[in-house]
Amino acid sequence: MTNTENTCPSGTSEMHKNEPAGGKISIRNATKLYDPDGANVLALDNCSMEIEAGEFCVIVGPSGCGKTTLLNAIAGFHGITSGQIDIDGKMLCSGARKADPGADRIVVFQNGALFPWYTVLENVTFGPAVQGKMSKEVARKEAEQILAEMGLKGILHNYPSEISSGMRRRVEIARAMMNDPNVLLMDEPYRAMDALTKTIMHKNLLDVYDRSKKTVFFITHDLEEAIFLGTKVYVMTTRPGKIKKVINVDLPRPRDYKILSSDRYLELKLEVIESVHEEAKKAFEAGERELA
């Protein structure tokens, strides 16, 4: 599935309309060796993945298996020791060179990283403001539009501490989408939420995804969430991380809650559970041995 036909991601500004949608990520033999206090920790070991442009890819695996390391490498916060990561055919980072963080690969963090000292409006328009790409008026209008599309009205001048956590998370996604990134990197963004709030978050994210068809790199521990949201689910082994299994989620889009009762969904869930559980047990036992 190519996205070159999709040259008009909706809900974003005029200037982005004619750029081809990108976000094809190619990870080849990525290896990461941490050296804290002289103890070599091999976080990733020849990890390879091919992510198509516009794919919603979900990474699952036991804690400490290197998922966040991968995400940090793509985002440009850390580098890798060897191997190479390309984006749209161009090298992003390798053992020799770390990537710089940029507005084409935006991260949404676990407990949210909305700037508490800025209002919602100031947060959402932060990207355009520092990049100087849009005038204040244009940015404001666009922010209002994106937020309205997410069902958030009238909170423009509130501080993050004044709105609920579900709203905060959506504002953060709005903030990311303002910059029309190629890749949306999400590190367990809905982890601390209860089942009810998660349902809204999912619907919201899927709306955004269906409209914009961005590549999404999503890390989670919630296996139901993984299958419900993802195009492909990548199961990682315990540390040092490799890809254990790739599961194709061949459920139709747009996804809604009715598919949760389908047979195919149940089959996929069982497959994922067994695979992850096996790795989780290994990781757990290894962890306990380490402490003994």
Partner 1 sequence: MTVTKPIYFMGINLRKLRMSIFSKTTARGIFAIIVTVLIWELCSRNNVPIIGMIPAPTSVVGALAEQLTTKAYWQCWVVSYERVLSGFIVAQIFGIPLGLLMGLSLKFRDLTFPTVEILRPIPPLAWVPISVIFWPTPELSMIFVTFLGAFFTMVLNILGGVKNVDIRYIRSAQSLGSSNMDIFRRIVLPATLPSIFTGMTVGIGITWAVVVAAEMIASRSGLGFLTWKSYVAGDYPVIVIGMISIGIAGYISSAVIRMLGNRLTPWCKTQ
Partner 2 sequence: MDPNDNKANAEIKMTGGQMEINGISKSFGIGPLHQQVIENCNFTLERGKLTVLIGPSGCGKTTLINLLAGYEAPDSGTITIDGEPIKGPGKDRLVVFQETALFPWMTTIQNVMYGPMVRGDIGKKELEDEAMFLLRKVGLEEFRDKFPTQLSGGMQRRCELVRALINRPKVMLMDEPFRGLDAMTRELMQEYYVRLFEENHLTNLFITSELEEAIFLADRLIILTNRPACARTVMEIDLPRPREFKVLATREYLHYKQHALEILHEEALKSFSSGCRSESADFMEAYSEIKSA
Q: Which is nearer to partner 1, 58 or 185 (CB)?
A: 185
130 binding partner 2? (CB under 8 A): no
Instruction: Give the up-direction half-sphere exposure of residue 40: CA atoms within 13 A in the CB hemisphere.
Output: 8
107 binds, among partner 2, partner 1, none (CB under 5 to 8 A by kind): partner 1
Among 200, 206, 243, 251, interactor with partner 2 by CB under 8 A: 200
Q: Which is nearer to partner 1, 106 or 121 (CB)?
A: 106
End-to-end Cα, the chain, rounded Å: 50
288 binding partner 2? (CB under 8 A): yes
Residue 156-175 contact track with partner 2, rule CB under 8 A, x = bound: ------xxxxxx--------
Query: Could you tell me if residue 204 is left (phi over 0), alpha (psi between -120 and 50 degrees) or otherwise beta?
Result: alpha
Q: What's the CA gap between 119 and 236, in Å, rounded? A: 38
210 binding partner 2? (CB under 8 A): no
Give the angle subtended at the CA of 81 by the CAs of 80 and 84, to the nearest 5°: 60
Alpha helices in 109-152, H assignment, sequence order = 120-124, 126-131, 136-149
Beta carbon of residue 272, minimum distance to partner 1 (angstroms, whole number): 28
Q: What's the CA gap between 108 and 250, in Å, rounded? A: 26
215 binds, among partner 2, partner 1, none (CB under 5 to 8 A by kind): none
Q: What's the CA gap between 189 and 206, in Å, rounded? A: 14
Q: Which is nearer to partner 1, 102 or 151 (CB)?
A: 102
230 binding partner 2? (CB under 8 A): no
Contact 95, 83 (CB under 8 A): yes
Instruction: Tell me which residues touch partner 1 (CB under 8 A).
Output: 75-77, 100-103, 105-107, 109, 113, 115-118, 126-127, 130-131, 159-162, 175, 179
Q: Count Cβ atoms below 10 Å from residue 281 Cβ, excluding itself.
A: 12
Sheet of 232-236: strands edge to edge? 105-108, 183-187, 215-219, 56-60, 232-236, 243-248
Residue 231-270 contact track with partner 2, rule CB under 8 A, x = bound: -------------------------xxx-xx----xx-xx
Q: What's the CA gap between 130 and 111, in Å, rounded? A: 23
Beta carbon of residue 285, minimum distance to partner 2 (angstroms, whole number): 9
- Chain residues in the site for partner 2 (CB under 8 A): 62-63, 151, 162-167, 191, 194-197, 199-200, 203, 221-224, 256-258, 260-261, 266-267, 269-270, 273-274, 277, 280-281, 283-284, 287-288, 291-292
